[in-house]
Structure 1
Amino acid sequence: MSQREEPAPGVLYVVGTPIGHLGDLSPRARSVLTNVSAIACEDTRHSGHLLNSLGAQSQRFSFHQHNTKARLPQLLQLLNEGQSLALISDAGLPGISDPGEQLVAAARAAGHQVICIPGPCAATTALVSSGLPSGRFCFEGFLASRGKERQQQLAAVASETRTTILYEAPHRLVQLLKELAQLCGDERPLQVARELTKRHEQQVGPTIAAALEHFLEHKPLGECTLVLGGAPISGPDQQSDAHWRAELAALMASGASASDAARQLAQQSGQSRRALYALVHQMVENESE
């Protein structure tokens, strides 16, 4: 489809917007946003600055995690009426760690065409600039904030052999780094990216320990993207303490006591129960500090 034919009636356009540098907005994205019938924004006030600078006059609708259920029928009705609709997030490519995913699925289920106008994405931007392996990688986004679900997710991340990408809010970054250090070991490769594409873009690493030391001294500001190196691939008799800590954490997150987790893992792996229990004891002590 050429630019002259866009935006087309009854089509949902998923439009990537800058994550920092306004120069990253593509001419095609600019054209769609200034000519589309309506725009669904994560935050109309935040996106208003960008849209006003473009001279976009389209009707705007807020669309975020707190009004998704109520807003979906309204947005689908616009498409049913033959109007064109653009979806944008506060920054980056919609549908990744935001409710845009639900709108795309609903539009497709209703028989509407969905076209993505490619644009910046913090996850891939941080990945390719990290220097860590990018041939195979995982995206985890934001982890659960607390409880067993978080412990299970952290254990899975710690044992993952592929590069993993995580998002974290600045006020929770230090805690996440402490948890990763406990499960992965201080020297696991890591880059923390913040202020991507902006004047003060920063990449902090190259290990968990180095990143933790930095952010204990310098208060984190702005959303952070973490790129974590994968767990070493080794035989069952050569696994690191970090691997066994992750396995123990997963068992305890599923409800096992410390002693039961050590006993079960010893039976499954052939490792020393005493050595595994010592690791559990270290984990508990670190949590209490």
Structure 2
Amino acid sequence: MHGKKRRLRRILNKDTGRSLVLAVDHGMALGPMTGIVNVAETIRQLDATGKVDCWLMTKGIYNHAFDPAGDPGVILRASGGATIAGPELTREGQTATAKEALHLGVDAVATSAFVGSPYEHETLISMAGLSTECRKWDLPLLGVIGLGKTNEDKKKDPKFIALGARVGAEHGADIIKTYYTETDFEKVVAGCPVPIMIAGGPKCETDLDTLKMIHGALQGGAKGIVMGRNVWQSPYPVALLTAVHGLIHENMTVNEAAQLLEEMRNR
């Protein structure tokens, strides 16, 4: 078994081929937002459930706030450099290297590309360059496909989402994180030669909406989630995480997952 395959097994469950990845990298651009003000406590609480396959985080959080109960996988965020206080959130650059990721002992790295944005070219070139670097070390690369504010309306367009997913794979990503589309999501998956996992995007109105979105994505061929605020901003994050795990790894229906969520909320 070569190194990349072994590391991918730390992310994608060997039995189900799916993964529940919790993202806590939001603070690099959004600061101490609700749910991750005390990010170390959020990680401690949710990791203790044993339901998280893998975490996505920056090197700062990994070094200063990550003390898991078990030994989950870790994807290191390797792009950033822009905040909501600045002029353009899509102007990301490389903030970590493959060699640094290996030194930290993580299992993969993640970088963003903003398709259709003013910084499409720069972020795609950065993704391709990091892919080349990762290949030297058999390190998997998660391609995070963003759109930018001017393309918000295109998040629901399966043709545009399919374009972004394919472009990310073409530039060297081993896994793609992108948005779920309620229509033709299976076509998004069919056009991408690497596994697709869905982002949460803006916070869903209810936990049931989150469950429906994840279930729809799984039915369309997604291999799981790379999601943050829709879990840790829930009023009942542990209960929701358990229900999401049921969808991803136990093939629960939405009704079964919703019932489990309700039972845990009432305890």
TM range (shorter): under 0.3
Larger-gyration structure (1/2): 1
The TM-score, its normalising length taken from structure 1, stands at: 0.26
TM-score by length of 2: 0.28
